[in-house]
Amino acid sequence: MNSLIVSIIFIVLGIAIKYGKMYFLIAGYNTLSKEEKDKYDIDGIANVFRNAMFGMSFILIFGYLISKWFENPKIATYSLFIAIAIGLPYLLIVSNSQKYKVKKDN
């Protein structure tokens, strides 16, 4: 059951960041100056956050369903660790890539 609660939280966060434009939830973005914020494609980064949150949520829901099928609650716990082990590095690596830095011609 805890996996479903965490999954719902991930879905809500993904929707809030992407569609609610709650960019202050992205660590460090809120502290940047206006000039620094203009250097980043925040819509692209918000897409990455939404996709990562939805992906981690999918892994949690899938793990929960499998744990119910096999009647083994440890599977749901393992799915949480797998979701974080895959989702967090993906989120950090992709969102910090050069792809989301705005190139300005001088």
Question: 33-62 burial, b for 16+ CB within 10 Å, e for fewer?
Answer: eeeeeeebebebbbbbbbbbbbbbbbbbbb
What digits encode the pLDDT tens for the residues 52-64? 999 999 999 999 9
**How far apart (Å, rounded) are the C-alpha atoms in residues 101 and 44?**
10
What digits encode the pLDDT tens for the residues 16-36? 999 999 999 998 898 999 999
CA distances from 98 to 33, 49, 67 (A): 19, 16, 39
Kindly tell me the sign of the dihedral angle through the C-alpha atoms of 77, 56, 14, 31: positive
CA distances from 95 to 64, 70, 85, 92 (A): 28, 36, 16, 6
pTM: 0.88
